[in-house]
A = this chain, B = another copy of it.
Amino acid sequence: MKFLVRLTTMLPPEMNDERRNALLAAEAERGRELVTDGTIEQLWRLPGRLANVGVWSVPDADALHVALTSLPLWRWMDVQVEALANHPLTSTPTPLVTDAQRDHGRTD
């Protein structure tokens, strides 16, 4: 299953640099692991924000929960999750229910 995950981190501005950099380093390390094991397929920064949007590939929502709550910065994060379905243009097309089928209320 693929999810579009938007992570916005709200570290207190007054947090001392040492603790802040340690957390950011731990986050980067954990992130690298999740990229390496394929959990995080794609990741982009939202320019100007301590936030990113990425495509996470996991067996199911339970696994997604475990992966996300493993992030060192999780406690400071707002997490938005959207399930993604395959699009016929970029993957073996899932049969789009044609309008005809829908009008008869059947998809067989």
Residues of A that sit less than 8 Å from B by CB: 1-5, 11-14, 17, 20-21, 26-33, 35, 40, 42-49, 52-55, 60-62, 64-72, 74-76, 79, 81-90, 94-103, 105-107
Contact = CB atoms under 8 A, between A and B. Distances in A.
Number of copies: 10
A78 to B, nearest CB: 9
Contacts of A52: 87
A65 B53 contact: no
A105 B75 contact: no
B65 A48 contact: yes
B61 A1 contact: yes
Nearest to A67: B107
A106 B74 CA distance: 13
B2 A70 contact: no
A83 B64 contact: yes
B40 A105 contact: no
Which 9 interchain pairs have the tightest Cβ spacing? A48-B68, A13-B75, A48-B79, A44-B84, A61-B85, A30-B105, A45-B85, A43-B87, A47-B65
